[in-house]
Structure 1
């Protein structure tokens, strides 16, 4: 009985058993090399120790010749450009409940083998299970729930589509109706629209790798402002590449806004949920990414007319307001108030002049009197009346003599009079007799 397959919610995942630890590499040298047969046998022994695995993929080649005991298949990964050679009993293919053909998605159970004669690895399978539509839809729903839980459907992550893109990146099938619809409708709406077209497979095992490569190339082009992923309608199997997890995450990671226009209105691959904008059809995508030149011209004409009407109304209102202002007395004869105030201004100016002259005359008289009083009590006036100032000369210092003790005999003196100074020396001193005091009778 085969071991149960390990469940997974991701389309294209592979379930394997843990391989044994790698053996220590044999010793060899340039002088003692190992023959090819030894290496081939060791590789075969190591691969033979690997456990059986469940593998999911898509059949891309099938070689089933009558009379042969072995059927040869090529199983391709659904999301990457990788494939694996598969061998099986032809009876497994003939006894399948669902007819198997190139393009069928299957889950196989088998064991890897290394053929020493050719040096190739092949997966020898003993069980093949076709993946039905119901299981595919269930996996898509599980993947949708997983991406939604991660927040990849959050509207806040959606990037705005530019109003008028410089260049439109278009990923679609070669010479497809979707390409014709997008280009035709976009150029009809905006004749100057420019496209950067990448033709890829839009179904089958090679679709996802080619679409991923096209998204990366267009996202790296600085002239591309928006990318349209377009495909016409089809069956669930045909639209499976647009529900691939790798493709959905690439759409979210792209820096350029991406529009998903896959199938018709009822078709809802997961790319519609992770894209920045979902278009119901490729024609609808063309209408979303470029404006309608005729509609924009009509809108400009309408806005121009509304702007002209608004400007004329504003000018009329302002003209009426100016007329009302000019009709007021202060603006009709603006000098009348000045004339009325002219005489008053002249009278006040004369009064102010008289007040200033009177104040200046009074202050001048006061200043003269103070100057005369100051001169009368000043030292120059005192000297002019016959007084003198006696100073004792001690080197460079000069001190005023106030008593006879300050100038003993021989002291050098300087006597200042009204018109100069006299140098002298003290010959002696004489004390004045004190005044007699009166005695009360």
Structure 2
């Protein structure tokens, strides 16, 4: 609506801003495509600010969105990315600026596809389908391998040839299915379930050669991912080449970089295993021989010790010590006996020298009364008394004729 204004009757700036805001607020949401030239994500802030530019016209618009709107594409969007936003124009009256309030953000073309895959990956990961603790170990030597792959494909040939080259006795249950297109997902799911129920299948390989992201889309399908997660048999994903990582790689119990790598990871090489067995046998033999040599050396060392080399040596040494002690005891006893005999002779000589018999040998005599009392004093006898005289060689009787007392 045109306003009736003039130089004499102008309207305030606030009124103009209010009118512009009212007109813009009546505009509906639109889909806008552009290139991000500036991206501002402050930590903790609930709003993300972008500048969207049209490279062909060199025109830019400010875009704001809540963090919940931006999070699904946060890891895929950088400055320079082309995006499509579903936004509603907004007018900020105090500053008189126009911006777009985004309600949805999508990447252009392949970027949008990757964003949707990333969102599905986060959802399935949050449910625990990619957790390492739920992955099942592969059997060391599978007797029968289930293979889900395209008919007469290079992937099938690579798996079969490499597996049989490594272990000729291995058996396969092959299920040929479409590996791209609208029928790929249901048929791959049916083949996986059939092989999972097969009583002889020990491990399942899902293989496909390389291709574009669109070609590998069936192996990122949510139904296929959930079917593999529910399988009781270990599943190996061998999709594309090393850089390709469909969602099947995350849920599988083992991810192989190529179909050839899957054959090598699942089937052990008979030559390598034989070489390992021979190596272990040689190591065991060497270990046993080394142990025997060590024990033999130790036993020889023990046997060479004097206690075992000449077990009677200690007895002989103790016998010699005992003989020496006996000889020493004998000499000591003889010496003591000889000294005692000498002392006895000297004592006997002294006794003999002091004995009354020696005195009698010099001519003395001992007088005894009839009651045996030795007469020492003349007063002890009377004249006419009979006494007994004892001399060196015997004795005889005497009669006292007279008693004489010495006068000093």
Return the TM-score normalized by structure 1: 0.45
Higher helix share: 2
Q: Which has the larger radius of gyration?
A: 2
